[in-house]
């Protein structure tokens, strides 16, 4: 049954029913619509796709012809058959001319079905043609190139895609021969192939090259199809540009070859293995034909063959992919490591074939072996490195993950203890915050490389050590870590401190050296060292000289100085030179310079040290002596010092007459003999070395000599020694002088004896002064015995005088007892004085406690005597007046120092002073002494008191210094 959609243009529904029954007789299943006006015809045909239209001729308001024209106007391919009761012939013809396909009278509906079938078949053919045309146009206008050529190889049609492939326009190609786009070397072959196509061969597929408009070649895949008609033969070619595909294929093949990977496919039913070229290459097969499974398995190592067979069975049966590391013996004898993979291809749950790859992994295997060896070496080096090594998690936890033996030895922890710790555990707690900041900074972007820090660490024992920490980020198993190298520099740090001290000492020695010390580069540029003596010699300061060429060798002297420096730099040996130069003020001076090379780390001369001695005055004397040989001889012979010349063999060839006085030998007895025969044997070797060094060019301004006289006595001398040069500058001997200082040594001994005698004498004087003062004190005591008790005033005067004398005597007693006669220790002195005063003034009816407190201070004799009398007066006054009416009391004597001042206080807890007390109005001898002695000491005398609470007297002065004093200053009351 055929489906049919019908448009009925009919105003009578009964006629429509009649027509439907007739149509269904033709085995049609219909769907229909009814239009009763031209508007409905227009709307329905626009909305629906109808297979046929059955139209009445006579309709209200329009005719069937109008309906035909309306449908035709809308360009709808709908065949229209007119059906009417009566249609005049002329009108029927007009209807057919207007586009109706047929007309049928209603009384003859038997013609309807044949007419419909005819028109429906025609409609189907038209629709099919339109479809084919559209398909052809789509193909022709699609991305695949299409070219049509005739039997003479003339291009008759091309599409846009083909034009783009060859680079020509359509106009440039139409009418041209195929030879236009055929490479010259392929033209004959192409013509023969074209003739074969036209001769009746079926469609064929070929890959060829064609020439583009710019002369380049393009690879194309062509499908040729021949279409023949009665009057012509056409070749239709569909063309695809495969240049990129071929290039990609070549790239993939090359990549596969470079990667060492080949592909294979195993057809289980036929037992055939198809392989890519790379696999043949891996197997070293020249025969590139297909092989069966066992042929290939036999190439593998005999120990691996059963592994392959079992894996094949498992893959086929259980459909399990495999990846096997294997070994092969190449057909040309090469042993290789490979990796074989295969996957099952399953159809209807049955494995029909296997496919996979084969990769040559020999280099990878070798690399893995090398990596394993490197890891073993790394582990050996790590574990046996003499420096402590620690690996730390770098993700933020600071957990220690590994340590070597040296680390356990340094810190005292076991490896098991280490891996349960963090790096914080190795640091003192006070350093944790600083270390946290360092760890935090590691999380930020930082440059790659080794980082270093010096810090403190703790051993397990608690011992603090100083370490240099060097670390570098590493990756172990994909985990970020830090490799930390630790160097214990505790001893080194101590050495560095010692080195700093040594350098400081060296700098002090250089700065205080009696000769100029200068360091320069090999080019003569002053390099930092230009000591104080160099400044004194030349006048230029260190700041002026540093960084500049030797300032005293400018202008015409510069080249000479450079030559000397170059000679030392090239030879690496010390040079001694005597040169003339100018000071900053322009004064001419003569210098003796020692040029000593300073070697760098590479053993090459890096700097030159100059030891500079101003010998201007010495040279002037020497030159004056050379100018007058007679004058020289007279001076020499008249000299009380030995003057001598010695040859290279140590023999005297001249010595002056002083030898007779000093040694008892006449010059004639010494000349020709070795000086070694006349020196103290214990000094012979030392003096021999001096002689040798002089012959090498050194000068000795002062060195000790011990010589033996004709009587065997040892004489002490101080000598000088200089090299003697001939006219060619060659050293031929040495000359020098020697001063007899034996009498100085004897005089020194006499002075020491005299000093000892004077010390005894001074000590005896102090002892006798003390004894005389004791006699005077005793006289006062005897005198007091003859004074009547009623004469209390006289008795008091005698006691006070006796006390004052005792205070002076106590000072001389202390000086007598001391080893030093210029000063005494005051606290000890006051303790003795207090004891004497207490013995003198103590009464049985009362008890006075007295105490000496404070610092021990020394005073010279000039200050000790007035201070002793002053202290005596203040203490005696406290005894006499502070405790009237009281049975007991306390006196404190306090010594202290504040800055440079000595503070002496006498404090009591007695009755105190009256509110109107004024020391300046008192005219007693005691107060006069206090004022006078305070002025003598340049002291400030203060006091403070409160009635009933005692008095505090304070004396302040600077020992050994004279300062202007407002001798008395009253302190404010409490």
3-state helix, strand, coil in the chain (%, to 5): 45, 30, 25
Kindly report the CATH number that applies to the domain delimited by 513-617.
3.30.450.20
Higher pLDDT among residues 302 and 261, named by residue: 302
pLDDT value at residue 689:
93
- DSSP conformational letter for 911: S
Q: CB–CB of 959/904 below 8 Å?
A: no
Asked if the model's pLDDT at residue 212 lies above 60, the reply is yes
pLDDT digits (tens, 9 = 90+) for 726-737: 888 899 999 999
Least confident of 427-431, 677-681, 811-815, 947-951: 811-815
Q: pLDDT-derived band of residue 819, with 50, 70 and 90 as boundaries?
A: low
Longest dimension (CA), the chain: 204
Residue with tokens 């023949």: 228
Kindly indicate the confidence band of residue 742, based on its pLDDT and cuts at 50, 70 and 90. confident
Strands (E), 411-555: 451-458, 464-476, 479-488, 516-521, 526-530
| b/e per residue 404-438 (b: at least 16 CB within 10 A) | bebbbebbebeeeebeebebebbbeeebeeebeee
The rounded percent of the chain whose pLDDT value lies above 90 is 24
> 126-140, 550-564, 624-638, 937-951: which has the minimum mean pLDDT?
624-638
**Residue 972's pLDDT band (boundaries 50, 70, 90)?**
very low
**Neighbouring-strand partners of residue 674:** 651
Judge whether residue 378 has pLDDT over 60: yes
654 near 645, Cβ under 8 Å? yes
pLDDT digits (tens, 9 = 90+) for 18-45: 888 888 888 888 899 999 999 998 999 9
Question: Chain-centre distance of CA 930, in angstroms?
Answer: 75
pLDDT surpasses 50 at 508: yes
Torsion of CA 702, 706, 708, 712, to 10 degrees: 150
Residue 601 reports pLDDT greater than 50: yes
- Per-residue model confidence (pLDDT) at position 458: 92
As a whole number of angstroms, the distance between CA 653 and CA 673 comes to: 8
Alpha helices in 262-400 (DSSP H): 277-283, 293-297, 305-318, 362-384
Res. 970 pLDDT band, cuts 50 70 90: very low
Going by pLDDT thresholds of 50, 70 and 90, the confidence category of residue 964 is very low
246-366 belongs to CATH 3.30.450.20: yes
Average pLDDT over residues 334-355: 89
Residue 969 has pLDDT above 50, yes or no: no
pLDDT score, position 764: 52
pLDDT (0 to 100) of residue 967 = 38
Between 75 and 421, whose confidence is greater?
421
Handedness of CA 564, 565, 570, 572 (dihedral sign): positive
Question: Which residues have a Cβ under 8 Å from the Cβ of 969 and sit 6 or more positions away?
Answer: 940, 941, 942
Query: Which segment of 505-514, 749-758, 939-948 scores lowest on mean pLDDT?
Result: 749-758
Which of the residue ranges 21-30, 437-446, 927-936, 964-973 has the most confident prediction, judged by mean pLDDT? 21-30
CATH number of 385-490: 3.30.450.20
pLDDT digit string, tens, across residues 531-540:
888 888 888 9
Task: Give the separation between CA 868 and CA 836, rounded to whole angstroms.
Answer: 13
| Residue 234 confidence (pLDDT) | 87
Sign of the dihedral through C-alpha 684, 686, 689, 690: negative
Domain boundaries, the chain: 2-136, 141-241, 246-366, 385-490, 513-617, 628-740, 822-974
| Interval 493-509 mean pLDDT | 80
Q: For residue 755, report the phi and psi dihedrals to the nearest 5 degrees.
A: -65, -40
Asked if the domains at 246-366 and 385-490 fall in one CATH topology, the answer is: yes
Q: Residue 848 and residue 890: Cα distance in Å, rounded?
A: 6
Answer yes or no: is pLDDT of 310 > 70.
Answer: yes
pLDDT above 90 (res 679): yes
Q: What is the pLDDT of residue 962?
A: 35
Task: Judge contact between 869 and 911, C-beta under 8 A.
Answer: no
Q: The tokens of 36 are what?
A: 């009763």
The token pair that represents 737 in the structure block = 């002088």
Mean pLDDT of the chain: 83
CA dihedral (761, 765, 767, 772) positive or negative: positive
Nearest Cα to Cα of residue 611 among 541, 546, 698, 696: 698
CATH code of the domain occupying 2-136: 3.40.50.2300
CATH for the stretch 822-974: 3.30.565.10
- pLDDT tens digits, residue range 757-772? 555 555 555 555 555 5
Say whether pLDDT at 722 is over 60: yes
CATH of the structural domain 141-241, one choice from 3.10.20.30, 3.30.450.20, 3.30.479.30, 3.40.140.10: 3.30.450.20
Kindly report the number of other CB atoms within 10 A of residue 208's CB atom: 17
Pick the CATH number of 628-740 from 1.10.10.60, 3.20.20.70, 1.10.760.10, 3.30.450.20: 3.30.450.20
Residue 932 has pLDDT above 90, yes or no: no
Measured CA to CA in angstroms, residue 898 lies from 103, 496, 863 at distances of 149, 40, 18
For 310-324, 492-506, 524-538, which range has the lowest pLDDT when averaged over its residues? 492-506
Q: What is the pLDDT of residue 545?
A: 86
Banded pLDDT at 943 (limits 50, 70, 90): confident
């Amino acid at each position: 049954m055929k489906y049919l959609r019908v448009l009925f243009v009919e105003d009578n529904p009964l006629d429509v029913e009649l027509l439907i029954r007739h149509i269904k007789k033709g085995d049609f299943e219909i769907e229909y619509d009814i239009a009763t006006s031209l508007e409905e015809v227009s709307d329905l045909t626009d909305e629906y796709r109808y297979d046929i239209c059955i139209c009445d001729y006579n309709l209200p308001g329009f005719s069937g012809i109008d309906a035909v024209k309306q449908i035709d106007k809308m360009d709808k391919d709908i065949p229209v058959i007119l059906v009417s009761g009566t249609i005049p012939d002329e009108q029927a013809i007009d209807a057919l001319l207007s586009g109706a396909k047929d007309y049928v009278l209603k009384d003859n509906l038997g013609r309807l079905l044949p007419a419909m079938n005819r028109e429906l078949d025609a409609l189907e053919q038209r629709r099919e043609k339109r479809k084919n045309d559209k398909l052809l146009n789509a193909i022709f206008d699609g991305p695949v190139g299409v070219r049509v050529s005739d039997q003479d190889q003339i291009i008759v049609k091309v599409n846009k895609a083909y034009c783009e492939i060859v680079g020509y326009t359509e106009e440039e190609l139409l009418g041209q021969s195929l030879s236009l786009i055929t490479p010259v070397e392929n033209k004959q072959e192409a013509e023969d192939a074209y003739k074969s196509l036209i001769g009746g061969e079926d469609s064929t597929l070929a890959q060829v090259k064609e020439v583009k408009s710019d002369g380049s070649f393009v690879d194309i895949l062509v499908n040729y199809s021949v279409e023949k008609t009665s009057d012509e033969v056409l070749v239709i070619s569909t063309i695809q540009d495969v240049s990129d595909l071929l290039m990609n294929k070549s790239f993939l093949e090359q990549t596969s070859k470079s990667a060492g990977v080949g592909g294979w496919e195993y057809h289980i039913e036929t037992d055939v293995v198809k392989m890519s070229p790379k696999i043949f290459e891996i197997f070293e097969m020249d025969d590139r034909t297909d092989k069966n499974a066992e042929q290939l398995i036999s190439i593998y190592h005999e120990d691996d063959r059963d592994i392959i067979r079992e894996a094949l069975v498992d893959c086929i049966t259980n459909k399990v992919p495999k990846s096997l590391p294997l070994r092969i013996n190449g057909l040309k004898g090469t042993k290789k490591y490979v990796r074989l993979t295969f996957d099952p291809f399953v159809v209807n749950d049955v494995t029909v074939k296997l496919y996979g790859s084969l990769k040559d992994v020999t280099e990878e295997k070798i690399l893995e072996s090398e990596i394993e060896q490197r890891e073993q070496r790394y582990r050996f080096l790590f574990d046996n490195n003499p420096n402590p090594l620690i690996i730390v998690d770098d993700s933020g936890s600071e957990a220690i993950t590994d340590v070597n033996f040296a680390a356990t030895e340094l810190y005292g922890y076991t490896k098991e203890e280490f891996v349960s710790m963090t790096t914080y555990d190795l640091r003192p707690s006070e350093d944790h915050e600083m270390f946290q900041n360092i760890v935090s900074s590691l999380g930020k972007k930082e440059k790659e490389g080794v980082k270093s820090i010096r810090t403190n660490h703790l051993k397990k024992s608690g011992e603090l050590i100083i370490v240099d920490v060097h670390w570098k980020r590493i990756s172990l198993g994909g985990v970020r870590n830090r490799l930390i190298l630790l160097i214990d520099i505790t001893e080194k740090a101590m050495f560095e401190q010692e080195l700093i001290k040594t350098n400081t000492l060296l700098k002090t020695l250089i700065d205080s050296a009696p000769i100029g010390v200068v360091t320069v580069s090999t080019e003569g540029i002053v390099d930092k060292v230009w000591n104080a003596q160099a400044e004194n010699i030349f006048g230029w300061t260190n700041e002026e000289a540093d960084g500049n060429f030797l300032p005293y060798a400018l202008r015409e002297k510069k080249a000479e100085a450079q030559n000397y420096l170059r000679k030392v730099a090239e030879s690496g040996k010390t040079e001694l030179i005597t040169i003339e130069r100018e000071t900053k003020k322009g004064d001419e001076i003569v210098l003796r310079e020692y040029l000593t090379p300073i070697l760098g780390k590479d053993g090459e001369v890096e700097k030159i040290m100059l030891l500079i001695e101003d010998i201007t005055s010495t040279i002037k004397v020497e030159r004056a002596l050379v100018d007058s040989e007679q004058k020289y001889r007279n001076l020499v012979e008249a000299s009380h010092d030995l003057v001598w010349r010695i040859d290279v063999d140590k023999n005297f060839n001249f010595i002056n007459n002083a030898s007779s006085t000093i040694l008892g030998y006449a010059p004639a007895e010494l000349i020709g003999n070795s000086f070694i025969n006349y020196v103290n044997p214990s000094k012979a070797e030392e003096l021999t070395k001096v002689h040798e060094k002089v012959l090498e060019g050194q000068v000795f301004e002062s060195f000790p000599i011990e010589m033996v006289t004709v009587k065997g006595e040892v004489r002490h001398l101080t000598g000088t020694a200089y090299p003697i040069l001939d006219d060619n500058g060659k050293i031929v001997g040495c000359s020098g002088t020697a001063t007899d200082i034996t009498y100085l040594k004897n005089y020194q001994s006499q002075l020491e004896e005299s000093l000892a005698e004077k010390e005894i004498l001074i000590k005896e004087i102090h002892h006798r002064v003390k004894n005389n003062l004791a006699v005077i004190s005793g006289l006062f005591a005897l005198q007091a015995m003859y004074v009547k008790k009623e004469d209390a005033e006289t008795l008091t005067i005698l006691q006070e005088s006796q006390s004052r004398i005792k205070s002076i005597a106590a000072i001389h007693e202390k000086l007598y007892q001391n080893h030093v006669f210029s000063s005494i220790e005051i606290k000890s002195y006051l303790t003795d004085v207090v004891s004497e005063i207490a013995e003198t003034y103590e009464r049985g009816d009362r008890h006075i406690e007295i105490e000496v407190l404070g610092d021990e201070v020394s005073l010279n004799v000039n200050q000790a005597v007035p201070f002793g009398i002053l202290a005596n007066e203040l203490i005696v006054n406290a005894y006499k007046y502070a405790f009237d009416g009281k049975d007991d009391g306390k006196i404190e004597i306090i010594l202290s120092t504040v800055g440079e001042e000595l503070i002496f206080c006498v404090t009591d807890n007695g009755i105190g002073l009256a509110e109107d007390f004024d020391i300046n109005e008192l005219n007693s001898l005691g107060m006069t002494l206090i004022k006078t002695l305070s002025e003598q000491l340049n002291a400030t005398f203060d006091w403070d008191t409160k009635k009933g609470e005692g008095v505090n007297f304070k004396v302040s002065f600077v020992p050994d210094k004279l300062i202007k004093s407002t001798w008395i200053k009253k302190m404010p009351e409490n």
